[in-house]
Structure 1
Amino acid sequence: MRGILIFCGLLIATALLGLAYLAWQVDRLGGRDEARPADVIVVMGARVNADGTPGSDLISRTYHAVDLWQAGLAQHIICAGGYENEPLSAAAVCKRFAVRLGAPAGQVWLADGTSDSLGDARAAAAVMAAHGWRSAILVSHPLHVYRARWLFRRVGIEAVTSPTTTDTAAIFLPARIYYAVREAGGVALSTLDSLGALPPSVRSRLRALTYAAP
């Protein structure tokens, strides 16, 4: 019995150390801008206000994506997230805002019909495949870009990240720790889910916890 308890303790300690290391990687990548020339810029979905205006995260992501486009790092922008053909989806609202900021409507694409970050990745990958695009700059909150990059690479996209800010030190420390651990947990649980190791109830809870990106 003592041996079993020791083994279980070591297993839990190893899992916690692994999660802590992954959370550190999440935080570390959020402090770097890896933007370089690519086929497209992808804006990860974020909240839309009840009146149809973009939420604060979607505003900052769209501004940053248009800045990257104006800098010539990609010719096209893909806005992801929300129900398909819904005028108030994150993707549709993002596109309208990007056009207002100066991006040509014909160069801003929708990747909607999604309800989580993996769905965003798959929808964006489908748009990219239809046009022969392979590489993407992912724009999101600094503590979300690690998981976003992991998901996009998982669906075969050559992805680099460009967070809306690299000043992670300005994030309220308890919130910074919480989101880094949450995103690390999202990566770990998504890995287990891809292996078929999660029951449906846990899978649905995972989606609820990890779609509302920081």
Structure 2
Amino acid sequence: MRAICLLGAAVRPDGPSPALRRRAEHAAMLWQSDRSQVVLACGGAGNGRVTEAEAAARLLGEGGVPEDAILLESRSRTTWENLLFGRPILQEIGATSLVIVTDPDHLPRARLVAAKLGLTATGSAPSGPRPATARLKGLLREGPALLVYALRPRA
């Protein structure tokens, strides 16, 4: 079975961030192309009471993904934890391959984490315009974070 792993992004007091919306819309589109798969929505609670996974699940439902095709990992706070805490859920359902959904600049780090955790994964990122500030912030964050994660031992 193939699973889609939707990585978390911020949930603000007024609702899901644009990043979470983009990712959830993209994951729903991927699910629509092959309805035999499941979507694992990842992400714990940040500053709000709704977890990133719960907010993503709502968006997935709005995108046509039925509730029984959505799994939640709602404890994680980092990319590493998204996949670490998601791994037992994926193993329990017998997922043999994984498509990680996140933003383009985040995808190399997410795939590195998957490899370090022994997960067979590809990646898919939403296309389309993103604000220049979001792209710049992503690039500035991802370079150092990729280095830190590259130095982290396998789990």
TM-score (norm 2): 0.86
**1:176 Cα deviation from its structure 2 partner:** 4.3
The answer (yes or no) to whether the contact 1:44–1:120 under 8 Å persists in 2 is yes
Return the alpha-carbon distance in structure 1 between the equivalents of residues 77 and 58 of structure 2.
20
From 121, 124, 127, the counterpart of 2:86: 124
The answer (yes or no) to whether the contact 2:107–2:125 under 8 Å persists in 1 is yes
Where 1:143 maps in the other structure, the secondary structure is coil
Number of equivalenced pairs: 152
Matched with 1:47 is 10
Change (3 A) 1:105 1:155: same
Change (3 A) 1:127 1:191: same
Whether 2:74 is the aligned partner of 1:115: answer no
Unaligned 5+ segments in structure 2 are none
Where 2:12 maps in the other structure, the secondary structure is coil
**1:58 Cα deviation from its structure 2 partner:** 0.6
Matched with 2:145 is 186
Q: Relative to total residues, which structure has the larger helix share, 1 or 2?
A: 1
The answer (yes or no) to whether the contact 1:91–1:112 under 8 Å persists in 2 is yes
Return the alpha-carbon distance in structure 2 between the equivalents of residues 73 and 180 of structure 1.
33
**1:96 Cα deviation from its structure 2 partner:** 1.5
From 52, 56, 63, the counterpart of 1:90: 52
Return the alpha-carbon distance in structure 1 between the equivalents of residues 23 and 36 of structure 2.
15
Q: Bigger radius of gyration, 1 or 2?
A: 1
| Deviation per residue, 1:109-166 (Å, 9 max, x gap) | 001101110000112211101111121111111100110111111111111111111x
Aligned 1:30-179 pairs, distance under 5 A: 39-51=2-14, 53-72=15-34, 75-83=37-45, 88-165=50-127, 172=132, 176=135, 179=138
State percent identity of aligned pairs.
24
Q: Relative to total residues, which structure has the larger strand share, 1 or 2?
A: 2
Q: Which amino acid aligns with 1:179?
A: G
Q: Which amino acid aligns with 1:184?
A: G
TM-score (norm 1): 0.64
Return the alpha-carbon distance in structure 2 between the equivalents of residues 74 and 149 of structure 1.
23
**1:179 Cα deviation from its structure 2 partner:** 3.0
| Deviation per residue, 1:77-135 (Å, 9 max, x gap) | 0100114xx96000011012211221110110001101110000112211101111121
Return the alpha-carbon distance in structure 1 between the equivalents of residues 74 and 65 of structure 2.
19
Change (3 A) 1:154 1:97: same
The answer (yes or no) to whether the contact 1:78–1:124 under 8 Å persists in 2 is yes
The answer (yes or no) to whether the contact 2:8–2:53 under 8 Å persists in 1 is yes
Return the alpha-carbon distance in structure 2 between the equivalents of residues 163 and 139 of structure 1.
6
